[in-house]
Amino acid sequence: MTTSRTRFEPQIRVTRSGGGSRRSVEAELEIHSPVEAVWRALTDAAELENWFPPAACVEEGAGGSIELIRDDQMKTRMPIEIWEPGYG
Protein backbone atom coordinates (compact mmCIF):
# COMPACT_ATOMS: atom_id res chain seq x y z
CA MET A 1 0.00 0.00 0.00
CA THR A 2 1.36 3.40 -0.95
CA THR A 3 0.69 6.39 1.24
CA SER A 4 1.00 9.98 0.18
CA ARG A 5 1.48 12.97 2.40
CA THR A 6 -1.52 15.21 2.79
CA ARG A 7 -0.77 18.72 1.55
CA PHE A 8 -2.26 21.64 3.47
CA GLU A 9 -2.60 25.16 2.08
CA PRO A 10 -3.92 27.21 5.01
CA GLN A 11 -5.65 30.53 4.66
CA ILE A 12 -5.83 31.85 8.23
CA ARG A 13 -7.60 34.98 9.45
CA VAL A 14 -7.55 36.26 13.05
CA THR A 15 -10.34 38.62 14.06
CA ARG A 16 -11.39 40.44 17.21
CA SER A 17 -15.06 40.43 18.09
CA GLY A 18 -17.23 42.09 20.70
CA GLY A 19 -14.88 45.03 21.23
CA GLY A 20 -13.07 43.24 24.08
CA SER A 21 -10.09 41.00 24.36
CA ARG A 22 -11.92 38.01 22.92
CA ARG A 23 -10.44 36.69 19.66
CA SER A 24 -11.50 34.13 17.13
CA VAL A 25 -9.49 32.26 14.53
CA GLU A 26 -10.90 31.12 11.22
CA ALA A 27 -8.94 28.81 8.98
CA GLU A 28 -9.70 27.43 5.56
CA LEU A 29 -7.62 24.58 4.18
CA GLU A 30 -7.52 23.02 0.76
CA ILE A 31 -6.34 19.45 1.24
CA HIS A 32 -5.23 17.39 -1.73
CA SER A 33 -5.89 13.92 -0.35
CA PRO A 34 -8.73 11.39 -0.33
CA VAL A 35 -11.57 12.11 2.12
CA GLU A 36 -10.93 8.82 3.93
CA ALA A 37 -7.26 9.70 4.56
CA VAL A 38 -8.17 13.13 5.94
CA TRP A 39 -10.88 11.61 8.16
CA ARG A 40 -8.37 9.15 9.64
CA ALA A 41 -5.75 11.88 10.12
CA LEU A 42 -8.23 13.92 12.17
CA THR A 43 -10.15 11.22 14.07
CA ASP A 44 -7.77 8.32 14.74
CA ALA A 45 -5.47 8.76 17.78
CA ALA A 46 -2.50 6.97 16.18
CA GLU A 47 -2.85 9.02 12.98
CA LEU A 48 -3.10 12.28 14.97
CA GLU A 49 0.11 11.37 16.80
CA ASN A 50 1.87 10.99 13.43
CA TRP A 51 1.56 14.68 12.66
CA PHE A 52 0.47 16.73 15.66
CA PRO A 53 0.51 15.92 19.41
CA PRO A 54 2.88 13.50 21.14
CA ALA A 55 -0.23 11.67 22.45
CA ALA A 56 -3.94 11.69 21.65
CA CYS A 57 -7.13 9.99 22.81
CA VAL A 58 -10.30 9.76 20.74
CA GLU A 59 -13.72 8.81 22.08
CA GLU A 60 -15.53 8.34 18.77
CA GLY A 61 -18.98 9.57 17.92
CA ALA A 62 -21.22 12.53 18.63
CA GLY A 63 -20.95 13.25 22.34
CA GLY A 64 -17.40 11.85 22.41
CA SER A 65 -14.20 13.87 22.47
CA ILE A 66 -10.71 14.27 21.09
CA GLU A 67 -7.94 14.94 23.59
CA LEU A 68 -4.54 16.22 22.46
CA ILE A 69 -1.82 15.65 25.06
CA ARG A 70 1.55 17.35 25.10
CA ASP A 71 2.45 16.45 28.69
CA ASP A 72 0.78 16.10 32.11
CA GLN A 73 0.15 19.83 32.32
CA MET A 74 -0.76 20.56 28.74
CA LYS A 75 -3.89 18.76 27.56
CA THR A 76 -6.65 19.99 25.30
CA ARG A 77 -9.99 18.17 25.24
CA MET A 78 -12.48 19.04 22.50
CA PRO A 79 -16.05 17.75 22.43
CA ILE A 80 -17.35 16.08 19.27
CA GLU A 81 -20.73 17.53 18.31
CA ILE A 82 -21.15 15.86 14.91
CA TRP A 83 -19.57 12.58 13.75
CA GLU A 84 -20.17 11.74 10.09
CA PRO A 85 -17.61 9.22 8.76
CA GLY A 86 -17.42 9.13 4.98
CA TYR A 87 -19.05 12.52 4.61
CA GLY A 88 -17.71 14.37 1.62
> How far from each other are the two terminal CA atoms of the chain, in whole angstroms?
23
**Selected residue with higher pLDDT from 43 and 1:** 43
pLDDT at 8: 55
What average pLDDT score do residues 81-86 get?
90
- Give this prediction's pTM: 0.64
**Selected residue with higher pLDDT from 29 and 32:** 32
pLDDT at 17: 61
Decide: 37 and 31 in contact? Cβ < 8 Å: no
Burial of 48 (0-12, 13-18, 19+ CB in 10 A): buried
Domain boundaries, the chain: 8-79
Distance (Å, whole) CA 64 – CA 78: 9
Position 13 confidence tier, pLDDT thresholds 50, 70, 90: low
